[in-house]
């Protein structure tokens, strides 16, 4: 049966549009939200009434509620929610501007909660649905210079794991997706903004981080459409996975990090077990 998708973070050349196009390839219908939907109008025209563009700033709670209501009224419900909207920026743990930290959590974490909580009542009533939370490889492996971005994605991982267990009995499935480096426009802004760091001792480190992203822009190995197709394939598995890492380098980095973590934990098993009261 045709599914009804609600996808956040619609931007030209972005992952949100890739999810939308792959869903449309499968014969589904799509609500794609964006802060500036007019930029997507010519793209949406080719799909006729199978695409609905809805203006929405995910950090505006009233807009979120209205956008979900509009989608449900237009298509009769939402079968798949893709929490795709988000942004990452760099800075040291010690020196990053607090306003920037809080803004990143508002966009990458609290906005995901707002959209999810707005969509869940309809899914519970119907007894079915899918929630796909776009995390990051940085949500499983903290990245130097991106500590706060990683923190937002670690938070998404935790909420996704808990939510999956809470809604399973209501027929709702939940998947965390962890992309590595994908060829979207996400890295385009790094070339235009110099390092802004309050503490000089971290400047060189952050300049190296910035330069790496500038060099990678436009040559990232990940194909957004292939990534979106992998997500749809994962959703079709029985049982589906709890999480899906996307991209070769991301997969290898996460496996290496998890094995190191397991090694650290196991090497201190005696100390860990010594912390209980004696029998």
Q: Does the active-site annotation cover 100?
A: no
User: In the chain, which residue ranges form alpha helices assigned H by DSSP?
Assistant: 15-25, 41-45, 61-75, 98-105, 111-126, 147-167, 203-216, 224-235, 248-267, 269-273
Per-residue buried b or exposed e for 228-245, using 16+ beta carbons within 10 Å of the residue's own CB:
bbbbbebbeeeeeeebbb
CA–CA separation, 210 vs 203, rounded Å?
10
Q: Answer for the pair 37, 61: CB distance below 8 angstroms, yes or no.
A: no
Q: Pick the catalytic residue: 90, 149, 187, 202? A: 149
Query: In sequence order, what are the beta bridge partners of 182?
Result: 222
Residue in 135, 136, 150, 173 annotated catalytic? 135
Look at residues 193, 182, 167 and name the one whose alpha carbon lies nearest to residue 219. Answer: 182
Q: CB within 8 A of 152, min separation 6: which ones?
A: 86, 104, 105, 108, 109
Core vs surface per residue 144-162: b (16+ CB within 10 A) or e: ebbbbbbbbbbbbbebbee
Q: What whole-number distance in Å separates Cα of residue 171 and Cα of residue 151?
A: 30
Residue 114 designated active-site: no
Note if the bond before 19 is cis, omega within 30 degrees: no
Choose the catalytic residue: 19, 148, 153, 187: 153
Concerning whether 153 is annotated as a catalytic residue, the answer is yes
Residues annotated catalytic, as ranges: 135, 149, 153
């Amino acid at each position: 049966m045709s599914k009804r998708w609600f996808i956040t973070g619609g931007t030209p050349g972005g992952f949100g549009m890739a999810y939308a196009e792959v869903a449309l390839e499968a014969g589904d219908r799509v609500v794609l939200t964006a802060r500036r939907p007019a930029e997507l109008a010519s793209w949406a025209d080719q799909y006729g009434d199978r695409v609905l563009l809805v203006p929405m700033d995910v950090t505006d709670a009233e807009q979120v509620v209205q956008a979900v209501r509009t989608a449900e009224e237009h298509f009769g419900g939402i079968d798949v929610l893709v929490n795709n909207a988000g942004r990452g920026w760099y800075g040291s743990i010690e020196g990053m501007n607090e306003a920037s930290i809080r803004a990143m959590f508002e966009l990458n974490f609290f906005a995901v909660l707002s959209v999810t909580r707005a969509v869940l009542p309809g899914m519970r009533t119907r007894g079915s649905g899918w929630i796909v939370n776009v995390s990051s490889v940085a949500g499983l492996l903290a990245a130097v210079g991106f500590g706060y971005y990683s923190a937002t994605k670690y938070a998404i991982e935790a909420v996704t794991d808990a939510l999956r267990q809470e809604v399973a009995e209501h027929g709702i499935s939940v998947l965390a997706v962890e992309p590595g480096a994908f060829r979207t426009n996400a890295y385009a802004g790094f070339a235009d903004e110099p390092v802004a760091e309050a503490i000089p001792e971290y400047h060189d480190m952050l300049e190296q981080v910035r330069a790496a992203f500038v060099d990678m822009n436009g040559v990232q190995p990940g194909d957004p459409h292939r990534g979106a197709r992998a997500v749809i394939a994962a959703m079709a598995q029985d049982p589906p996975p709890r999480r899906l890492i996307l991209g070769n380098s991301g997969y290898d980095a996460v496996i290496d990090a998890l094995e190191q973590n397991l090694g650290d934990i196991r090497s201190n098993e005696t100390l860990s077990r010594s912390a209980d009261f004696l029998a």
